[in-house]
Amino acid sequence: KKTGKGELYLNKGVWMDASTKQTFLDSYVPARRVTYFANFFTSIACFGERADGEDLSRGIVVPKSLDLEYEQYINDKLWIRTVLLRGRQSFPDTLGFVNGKDTGKYVIPEQPKGSPTRLRVLYTPGASDATTKRIAAAVDRFVNVAAALPRGGPSRVRGLQLGYFKSTDQEAIVAGILQKLVKCPEGDSVILEEYLTTMPSQKLVTERGLSIRPQQSGPAPVSVKQVLSFQENVTGEEDEPWETDPNAADSQLAFFARVVVALDGDGKPNAASCTCGIAPALRPFERDQECLPATLDQVLRQWGVTDPKVVEDTRSVLFSEAVRVHNSLLAEQSTISVGGKVAEGAPDIISVDFILALKNSLVLPHVIRVHDHDSLAFPQKLDLILGMPGRSVESWIRRMLTRSQDYILKGKLFLIVGGGGFGKLEQWEIMEELGLRTALADHNEKHFMKDRVDYFIHVPELTNHAEDENNAKAIVAALEERGIKDVVSGVSTTYDPCVVVTAFVAEMLGLHGNGGATHDLAKDKYRLARFLKQQNESSHYATPAALYVAESIEVKTAEDVRKTLEGPTAKMTLPAVLKHTHGMCGMGVKLVTSVEQAMHEFVEMDKALKEDLDSDWTGMSFKGEVFLMEYLDGTEHDVDIVMFKGELVAALVTDNGPTRLPYFNETCACMPSKRHDDEVAALVAGAHQVCRAAGLHTGVYNVEMKYTSKGPRLIEINARLGGFYLTNWAKRVFDVNLVRCVVQVACGIRPIVPDVRPKPRTYCVGLQLYNSHHGKAIRKLVPANEAKITYEERMQQNRFRQLEADNVLIWICMAAALQDQPAEWEGAYANVGCSGASHEEAAAKLLTVCACMGLDDDTSLKTDYFVAGLGIKLQGGNTASYLQLSSK
């Protein structure tokens, strides 16, 4: 049933349990809201036999696989060919006959003068002698070889509707056109197209005495139009059958390739599968019913193409051309209007039929037909044969789930407590893209997002974290005063120091989260470590959290430091780490190698944190202290995990390079991890276990781990979304939108991620940029005063921006401006990264970019030092070799 708001509700439905292979029919009380609608009961999809789905589709706001108005276009072969012509894609030369007047639907772009006309449309309003003569004249100019005569659509009827004719049968062609036009509804068309032949076979096959001759063994092609095109609907009952000699020993074969393309979560087309069919070339056939599904590899082997590189290149070309078709359909959406209404739902999934035909001495993929979502049976038959059920539609299902969850989020009121600074702008933009209404509570009355949110609440004492619980009460009271307390759906923060107060607000509103006390514990690194050390109960299957935790000891004075590190009372060996209980971004963490150094650094660190630095940035507003932590050997890793009610939904592992010792500021990273799968699994298991033990059951967390000589060990839990480049890279590499996950879990929605450890789509390698190390080069790239830079600097800046625009480099800026800070407390200004088909390719690009941009000039440690620290090995040892490796 539909509501007045355009929503759709389900009273009764069938669902399937994949694990048990059972099917159920359920009634829903109350009715369930539909969050995605794929309509297979339209007149076009059902060949005019039923259309009861059309009324459901009209006027609804539910995400749809295909808009009802757009369906009239995508099933129109003639209109599709106008799109292909605009996109400069190959298809059989076509002459279209429309039953009716010109309505402006078929807009044919100007075709190059002097070249053959690829597409022409004639309008035939009513049968008459004049119409017959016009058709005959057009056919005479078009046909000089064999031709195919299918219906153009968009309406469809069952039965065989395609006729094949020889070039000498012009009278029969004209009669066939007139016969089909009479039966066409007004606005439908009949098309006459060149008759394409499949690419010649590369071998001669002899089996059991039956020779299958290569096609080039026959008569030489008379012209480039001697090609065979396959249509899904073939000869009508009134057409004479295509005669063949069943006793003939020679049998020419042809094949077509159907590529399925679906949009991803970002609305970008991705090719999912390629399914081929083989049939005799000398007669028309019903493609899905008269041939077995086969892989492209199978078909090309039969045609004598066995070189793996040629096969992959062919698949790549087919995929690329199919993606181009989908992109063209998306671009055409704004131009489509039916009854004054612009079509809103471009297809989420299509399939494109190709024939690899010899034309102009080249084998090219020619588009024969484009289908909407009702053409997936044939590819899925192959999926079952290969033991890969769902392969062809997996991308579509992901698109369904993404749009479904976004639909649920759209319009919800989401509260952000602590809006963060310039580096959090990307997170804000993602939330805006999700269609959320937002409220912001922040201490800065002039916050840069104040005018972009729906509600702003000024909380002057928000940075006083000793009053987090009272500040939470003040925020809840402000929400109630504005009349929005009961409509807030979720609460989160973009700013690390506000994690605790945010948790208190969510708890007071009765929303999803872990509670203020849990986050208060997680925020205190020393208290958390001691708490986890006590979680040593074991079972036969779960490792106790205590085994993942390094030793930590509280020290309040320099003398406590001495007693901890030397003498008969020593509880810790050197080297050790001095660490602040509430620091962030590497602030207040330093390696010490002697007792004297440890005592001196303790005094200096305590003084600097309390007197010289901003209290909220360093965590001193929490009244934290300094403690000693066991130094861990091994490699450092970020484990970004998504949890929902204790369940591990997703885990993404990143490798970090060598830090800026004796400080622990991050220098470089790569995603995904280069460690072996079993080691990555161990890191994930450790991160999940310590979060569960800490009471962090629902949220998105950044867990810093080390893989030591004794296995995974915890550095610390950041009970919030990971910072720096991690959000950006997670989307690029794993197609996981962590910001969306934050919003979803805060609103009580379990995020849908294909695998707990998703497979990477690409590889990223990046370098953290610091003013003290890269400041001189950075100022040339992003100068404070454009008027004062030199011509050479401006050219270098332009190259940098162009590389960013071309997606050669990934530039993530974490600060609004460069600042002079003491090296030990310095925060990163930006991250420059590159992606590639492997860690090595991404690293090669990064080294090339850093060299071209001068980021290694006047630095003591070059980028290749940090890349080598990630375990990425490249050929050669200088920038020239990297330039050769780089794809740009």
In the predicted model, is pLDDT for residue 13 greater than 80? yes
The token pair at 615 is 């209290």
Do 765 and 673 contact (CB within 8 A), yes or no?
no
- Give the three-state DSSP class for 884: helix
The token pair at 258 is 């159907």
The token pair at 663 is 């400080």
Do 850 and 638 contact (CB within 8 A), yes or no?
no
Residues sharing a CB contact under 8 Å with residue 4, sequence separation 6 or more, in sequence order? none
What phi and psi values does residue 715 have, to the nearest 5 degrees? Answer: -90, -55
- Can you give the pLDDT at residue 540? 66
How buried is 722 (Cβ within 10 angstroms: 0-12 exposed, 13-18 middle, 19+ buried)?
A: buried
Residues sharing a CB contact under 8 Å with residue 150, sequence separation 6 or more, in sequence order? 77, 161, 162, 163, 190, 191, 193, 231, 233
Task: Please give the mean pLDDT across all residues of the chain.
Answer: 84
What phi and psi values does residue 429 have, to the nearest 5 degrees? Answer: -65, -40
Instruction: Residue 550: name the closest of 589, 515, 585, 519 by CA.
Output: 589
Residue, of 825 and 33, whose pLDDT is higher: 33
- Can you give the pLDDT at residue 23? 96
- Can you give the pLDDT at residue 778? 83
Cα separation, 726 vs 215, whole angstroms: 55
Cα separation, 296 vs 253, whole angstroms: 15
Residues sharing a CB contact under 8 Å with residue 576, sequence separation 6 or more, in sequence order? 565, 591, 592, 598, 628, 629, 630, 631
Residues sharing a CB contact under 8 Å with residue 649, sequence separation 6 or more, in sequence order? 641, 642, 643, 741, 750, 751, 753, 756
Q: Give the strand pairing for 635-644 and 647-656.
A: antiparallel
Do 355 and 296 contact (CB within 8 A), yes or no?
no
b (16+ CB within 10 A) / e for 303-316:
bebeeeeebeebbe
Tally helices (H) and strands (E) across the chain: 25, 34
Give the percent of the chain with pLDDT over 90. 46
- Can you give the pLDDT at residue 789? 59
Q: What is the separation of C-alpha 159 from the centre of its chain, rounded to a whole number of angstroms?
A: 40
In the predicted model, is pLDDT for residue 25 greater than 90? yes
| Rounded (5°) CA angle 627-526-718 | 120
- Give the three-state DSSP class for 198: strand
- Can you give the pLDDT at residue 880? 43
What phi and psi values does residue 534 have, to the nearest 5 degrees? Answer: -85, -10
Instruction: Residue 261: name the closest of 251, 252, 271 by CA.
Output: 271
- Can you give the pLDDT at residue 125? 77
Residues sharing a CB contact under 8 Å with residue 544, sequence separation 6 or more, in sequence order? 535, 536, 537, 538, 689
Do 197 and 228 contact (CB within 8 A), yes or no?
yes
In the predicted model, is pLDDT for residue 682 greater than 50? yes
Cα separation, 788 vs 776, whole angstroms: 15
Residue, of 232 and 73, whose pLDDT is higher: 73
Do 714 and 549 contact (CB within 8 A), yes or no?
yes
The token pair at 457 is 């609440």
- Can you give the pLDDT at residue 349? 94
Cα separation, 727 vs 746, whole angstroms: 17
pLDDT tens string 317-374: 999 999 999 999 998 887 776 555 555 667 899 999 999 987 767 788 999 999 988 7
Query: What mean pLDDT comes out for the span 785-793?
Result: 62
Residue 535, CA atoms < 13 Å, CB-side half-sphere: 21
pLDDT tens string 241-262: 333 333 333 357 889 999 999 9
- Give the three-state DSSP class for 408: helix
Q: What is the separation of C-alpha 160 from the centre of its chain, rounded to a whole number of angstroms?
A: 40
Cα separation, 45 vs 751, whole angstroms: 32
Residue 786, CA atoms < 13 Å, CB-side half-sphere: 3
| Rounded (5°) CA angle 323-324-330 | 90
How buried is 419 (Cβ within 10 angstroms: 0-12 exposed, 13-18 middle, 19+ buried)?
A: buried
pLDDT tens string 366-407: 999 999 887 899 999 999 999 999 999 998 998 999 999 999
* Cross-strand partners of 794: none
Residues comprising the chain, all counted: 888
Q: What is the separation of C-alpha 212 from the centre of its chain, rounded to a whole number of angstroms?
A: 45
> What confidence tier does 885 reach under pLDDT thresholds 50, 70, 90?
very low
List helix spans (H) across 619-703. 677-693
pLDDT tens string 623-678: 778 899 999 999 999 999 999 999 999 999 999 998 877 878 888 999 999 999 99
Distances, alpha carbon 737 to alpha carbons 358, 434, 513, 640, in Å: 44, 11, 19, 12
Give the percent of the chain with pLDDT over 70. 84
Q: Using CA of residue 418, residue 423, residue 425, residue 430, what is the dihedral sign?
A: negative
- Can you give the pLDDT at residue 208? 35
pLDDT tens string 126-185: 777 888 888 888 888 776 556 676 777 787 766 546 666 777 778 888 888 888 888 888
Q: Which residue has the tokens 């471009």?
A: 346
Cα separation, 810 vs 2, whole angstroms: 45
User: How many CB atoms within 10 Å of residue 852?
Assistant: 18
Long-range CB pairs of 467-473, under 8 A, 24+ apart, other chains included: 468/500, 468/501, 468/504, 468/516, 468/520, 469/501, 469/504, 469/516, 471/501, 471/504, 472/501, 472/504, 472/505, 472/507, 472/508, 472/516, 473/508
In the predicted model, is pLDDT for residue 224 greater than 50? no
- Can you give the pLDDT at residue 695? 96
Do 480 and 513 contact (CB within 8 A), yes or no?
no
Q: What percent of the chain is helix, strand and coil (3-state, nearest 5)?
A: 35, 25, 40
- Can you give the pLDDT at residue 712? 97
* Cross-strand partners of 195: 226
